[in-house]
Amino acid sequence: MGFYFAQLLTGLANASSLFLIASGLSIIFGVTRIVNFAHGSFYMVGAYLAYTIVTALNGGIFGFWFSIIAAAAIVGVIGLLIEMTILRRIYRAPELFQLVATFGVVLIFQDATLAIWGAEDLLGPRAPGLDRAVRIMGEPIPEYDLALIAIGPAVLAGIWLLFHKTRWGVLVRAATEDREMVGALGVNQAWLFSAAFVLGAFLAGLGGALQIPREAVSLQMDLSIIGEAFVVVVIGGMGSVSGAFVAAVLISVLNAFAILIFPQISIVLPFIVMAVVLILRPYGLFGKPGSEHVGTEEPEQPLKLMSQKSTMVLLAAVMVLAFSPAVTADFTSILLVDVMVATLFAVSLHFMMGIGGMVSFGHAAYFGVGAYAAAMMVKFLGFGMLPAMLLAPFFAAAAALFFGWFCVRLSGVYLAMLTMAAAQILWGVTFQWQAFTGGDDGILGVWPAEWASSDKVYFYIAFVLCLGGIWFLRRVAHSPFGYTLRGIRDSQTRAEAIGVDTKFHQWMGFVVAGSLAGLAGVVFAFSKGSVFPDTLGIAQSIDGLIMVLLGGIHALAGPIFGAVAFVMIEDWVTRLDYWRFIFGGIILVVVLLAPDGIAGGVNRLIRAILPNQKGGAA
């Protein structure tokens, strides 16, 4: 009995720090509608700063708590700077574009932290005055855990008072519902957004700072927490602070007991809980359907068929690509295969997001299933390359058929989160199920057939499959099915009113996008000769997202620009020291220069140079 009670207390202590970071994320999303990937970085920097200040001050109980607060306050100021210098300039950009900027911030923070604090994990001191354990029902419980259990509800109460007893809090809650209306009532949204961002960053910094007596401070803290924090926010309902608290407790306590029964589950448990909650309550436990009035967004332009001139340019580019192996070195052909794989992946994601209006944070799931299906057919069933290539995309389609059925029941960020949950569950299973998938060691020796083993020949296989896939998706986008999908994207209710089965069309759109992502995964698997769980991971999903958003979601050419630029730049900068810093900086520059993505920026450039012509890169 005592053991289970101790386990419960551990769960509650974990819940406190999870709640702190999630509540900040929820507040930022509620007011600004920004999905802040940099929130994990705030958490990590809070921990590093606290470590530095605590060890420098070394000032007993008072010094310890002062350091924690000071670290959180500094993170708040960093949040303010980011909001004012970057995010404030791009609030008008298409929804979710700000996410790209926050991802650039993540990269910059990773290398900045590495440069300042080094790669070694840092072990913080114990909290003075709370450094022992007390016995409760015979089990030793760290005093610091008890303090954390108290801090969570205390912060919740503080936020509640702030939100209900101050004018600022009332304005924040009003803005969470309808920020345009709050502006029309005379409130300067810019300051409201800044303040919400500062508060959110402060809470994340506090969550990180409070961790230093419990765990080593490391460079992996940012990405290890962000997924779980998103899950908590979504389960609670985005924008709901009390929801975040309930969800943090739910996840942490469930986890504390689940690992007793089935230790492997802890990696996927939060995502399973999220999936179940979202299927039962599409807006989370305490969430509400978002306001219709998030802003007067302009309707999307219809897609145009390409003008003759741009068709010529495109054909010329394809021809150059086709003949490139004749004149370039092998490693260029290999790089170009990477580019084509990334492009097909990005185009398939764009089909889902730009054409289908369904944002995915977990598109890697289908890429990875395609790659693993091909690898396993070759390794375990002795298939040849071609049959494996042909069959594997159907497995991706099957996975998309299964997960898509759940996902299309939701919309917006909730849909995106459920796609992420699907991908994380698949990733977790692949990672843990050593006997079947090889686990962390992956599957090796997935090489192309003898006749296709030269880099040049494989280039042409990839060329045919990837360009064929891209061509197919373009055709579908311009087919009646594509029109229907775009109609649903622009107005679900109107599409329903004219008799379209919107869910079914979205579901099929999901499957088409998933299958083609699977095809990209297959080409990828044979080009690398191996597959690892990374192919299903969050990083792979985010890469695709960045390609699509950076390229420009409103243009069919967007993902092509985005993927080519992304792979080329990545290939170049990863050879440099502190490449994440440089890469993040480049992303921020592109974001600020072209808030409509690269395709939009190119279009504007063409119009500026040739004022009489319409930009053709649609």
Partner 1 sequence: MLEVANLNARYGRAQILNGVSLSLGQNEVVAVLGRNGAGKSTTMKSIMGMVRQKTGQITYEGQSILGKPSHAICRAGVGYVPEERRIFGELTVEENLEVGRRDKRDDAPEWTLEHLFELFPNLSERRKNLGKQLSGGEQQMLTIARTLMGNPKMVLLDEPSEGIAPVIVEQMANVIAELKREGLSVLISEQNLHFARLVSDRAYIIEKGSVCYDGTFGHLDQNPEISNKYLAV
**For residues 27 and 588, which CB has a smaller minimum distance to partner 1 in the complex?**
27
**For residues 132 and 293, which CB has a smaller minimum distance to partner 1 in the complex?**
293
Spatial distance between the Cα atoms of 379 and 213, rounded to a whole number of angstroms: 47
Spatial distance between the Cα atoms of 346 and 557, rounded to a whole number of angstroms: 11
**For residues 94 and 325, which CB has a smaller minimum distance to partner 1 in the complex?**
94
**For residues 270 and 354, which CB has a smaller minimum distance to partner 1 in the complex?**
354
**For residues 301 and 493, which CB has a smaller minimum distance to partner 1 in the complex?**
301
Nearest Cα residue to 248 out of 546, 15, 505: 15
Q: Are 519 and 343 in contact, with CB atoms under 8 Å apart? A: no
**Do strands 530-531 and 133-136 pair parallel, antiparallel, or not at all (unpaired)?**
unpaired
Which DSSP string corresponds to 217-230? B-TTHHHHHHHHHH
Which DSSP string corresponds to 445-511? --PPPGGG-SHHHHHHHHHHHHHHHHHHHHHHHTSHHHHHHHHHHH-HHHHHHTT--HHHHHHHHHH
**For residues 143 and 178, which CB has a smaller minimum distance to partner 1 in the complex?**
178
The type of residue at 578 is Y
Nearest Cα residue to 31 out of 240, 209, 226: 240
Query: Which residues are paired to 133 by β-bridges?
Result: 142
- Least distance in angstroms from the C-beta of 175 to partner 1: 9
- Least distance in angstroms from the C-beta of 294 to partner 1: 12
- Least distance in angstroms from the C-beta of 296 to partner 1: 6
Spatial distance between the Cα atoms of 152 and 78, rounded to a whole number of angstroms: 23
- Least distance in angstroms from the C-beta of 292 to partner 1: 8
- Least distance in angstroms from the C-beta of 293 to partner 1: 6
- Least distance in angstroms from the C-beta of 404 to partner 1: 30
Sign of the torsion formed by the C-alpha atoms of 611, 612, 616 and 618 = positive
- Least distance in angstroms from the C-beta of 587 to partner 1: 26
Spatial distance between the Cα atoms of 6 and 149, rounded to a whole number of angstroms: 12
Q: Where along the sequence are the contacts to partner 1 (CB under 8 A)?
A: 167, 170-171, 173-174, 176-178, 180-189, 288, 292-293, 296, 298-301
**Which run of H or E residues covers position 135?**
strand 133-136
**For residues 440 and 490, which CB has a smaller minimum distance to partner 1 in the complex?**
490
Q: Any idea what DSSP says for residue 354?
A: I
Residue showing tokens 């650039």: 104
Q: Are 182 and 195 in contact, with CB atoms under 8 Å apart? A: no
Phi/psi for 439 (5° steps) reads: 55, -140
- Least distance in angstroms from the C-beta of 181 to partner 1: 5
- Least distance in angstroms from the C-beta of 407 to partner 1: 27
The type of residue at 330 is D
The type of residue at 341 is V
**For residues 178 and 570, which CB has a smaller minimum distance to partner 1 in the complex?**
178
**For residues 176 and 411, which CB has a smaller minimum distance to partner 1 in the complex?**
176
**For residues 18 and 553, which CB has a smaller minimum distance to partner 1 in the complex?**
553
**For residues 182 and 573, which CB has a smaller minimum distance to partner 1 in the complex?**
182
- Terminal alpha carbon distance of the chain: 66
Spatial distance between the Cα atoms of 72 and 523, rounded to a whole number of angstroms: 46
- Least distance in angstroms from the C-beta of 178 to partner 1: 6
* 3-state DSSP percent of the chain in helix, strand and coil, to 5: 75, 0, 25
Directed axis angle between helix 221-236 and helix 241-261, to 10°? Answer: 110
- Least distance in angstroms from the C-beta of 60 to partner 1: 43
**For residues 110 and 176, which CB has a smaller minimum distance to partner 1 in the complex?**
176
**For residues 167 and 575, which CB has a smaller minimum distance to partner 1 in the complex?**
167
The pair of structure tokens assigned to 447 is 């090489």
**For residues 59 and 295, which CB has a smaller minimum distance to partner 1 in the complex?**
295
3 state DSSP class of 215: coil
- Least distance in angstroms from the C-beta of 553 to partner 1: 15
413, 419, 425, 430 alpha-carbon torsion, rounded to 10°: -140
Contacts of 323 (CB under 8 A, 6+ apart): none
Phi/psi for 553 (5° steps) reads: -75, -20
- Least distance in angstroms from the C-beta of 190 to partner 1: 9
| C-alpha pair distances (Å), 21 with each of 12, 40, 246, 504 | 15, 8, 14, 37
- Least distance in angstroms from the C-beta of 412 to partner 1: 18
The pair of structure tokens assigned to 344 is 């097909």
